[in-house]
Structures are given as C-alpha cells and as structure tokens.
Amino acid sequence: MSQISYFTEEGLKKLKDELHHLEAVERPSISRQIAEARDKGDLSENAEYDAAKEAQGLLELKISKMKELVSNARILDETQIDNSKVFIRSKVKIKNLKNDATMQYILVAESEANLKEGKISVDSPIGKGLLGKKVGEKAEIKTPAGSVKFEIVNISR
C-alpha cells in the first residue's frame, strides 16, 4: 500500500522538475556511458561498464521511487487547515523547557525538509511530537540527544 504525501504546489513542482531532469538528462547520459564502455571491448573485465550499469540501476530505482511519490502526492489547500493545532505546513514556535531557548519551524513533507530554511519533516522526531498539539501544550520528544520537553508558544501559517 502506497503512502499519500502532502505537498505545497511549489514542493510538488520541484519534485516533478527533478523527476523530469532524471528522465530527460541523467538517463540518456548513463545510456551513453554504457554504450561507450561497451565499445571498448571485453565486458567481463570492463570496470567502466560495470560502474555505468550500477549507476543506471541506482538511477532507475530513484526514478521509480520518485514516480511513486508523485503519483501518491496530494496538494495541500492551506486555507482549509485548522490553525488551532499543529499540522503539516504549520509554522510553530516552540520553547525548550530545559534551557528556555525558543525555535521556530515549519512542518513540511519529508522531501521538502530543509533545516537551513527552518523546515522540518512531519516524519522527524520533533515533527511527530508536535503534530496535533495546541498552543500552551507541552510535548516530550525523544531526540538522539535524549528526551526533551517543549512547549508550543505559537502556531501560524
């Protein structure tokens, strides 16, 4: 059973553009590399051929996974999302109750996550711990550094 993933229009377009690049640019490039290696003679001792075939296999696997992701993608209508709880696309300000540090994150799909931009995946430990919480609620989240308690300070779009 395939998992439905939610994207913004921008995120889905980015994913489709990357898929198109893999199919239109990368796939023909690897095919040329295989043909060039094949032209060099004996395939049983041809490291270039083996490397190109392995790269082709990895590329085809990546293309296959991306096609499945695109086929199960749904565009998120942000106007229909309830701001009273943390959901995907929520901008959440949280406070670490141990050291009073505050952080702000936007919860996004795994493929859109980018920590430098403050975007964390809803599938990450922090994302999972925040989902469904309301302002003022506390969340105890198990992180690689141990268990951390956060308080939801603000939720916005």
Please state the rounded mean pLDDT for residues 107-111: 84
Give me the domain span that covers residue 42: 5-75
The residue among 64 and 6 whose pLDDT is bigger is 64
Got the DSSP string for 67-94?
Answer: HHHHHTEEE--GGGS-TTB--TT-EEEE
* CATH number reported for the structural domain that contains residue 12 in this entry: 1.10.287.180
Q: Are residues 41 and 103 in the same domain?
A: no
* 32 lies in the same domain as 83: no
Pairing outcome for strands 91-96 and 119-121: unpaired
End residue of a domain, out of 54, 75, 96: 75
Nearest partner of 104 among 126, 124, 137, 75, judged by Cα: 126
In a shared domain, residues 100 and 139: yes
Share of the chain above pLDDT 90, in %: 43
Report whether pLDDT(1) > 50: no
Here the CATH number for the domain that contains residue 105 is: 3.10.50.30
Task: Taking residues 3-16, report their average pLDDT.
Answer: 82
**Among the three residues 75, 98, 128, which one is the final residue of a domain in this structure?**
75
Q: What are the pLDDT digits (tens) for 40-66?
A: 877 777 788 888 899 999 999 999 999
* Percent of the chain topping pLDDT 70: 95
Tell me, yes or no, whether 47 and 94 share the same domain.
no
Task: Verify that 83 and 71 share a domain, yes or no.
Answer: no
| pLDDT for 37 | 85
Report the residue count for the chain.
Answer: 157
Band (77; pLDDT cuts 50, 70, 90): low
Cα radius of gyration (the chain): 22
- Total of domains in the chain: 2
- The residue out of 29, 59, 75 marking a domain boundary is 75
Question: Are residues 63 and 110 located together in one domain of the fold?
Answer: no
Same domain, 56 and 97: no
Mean pLDDT taken over the chain? 87
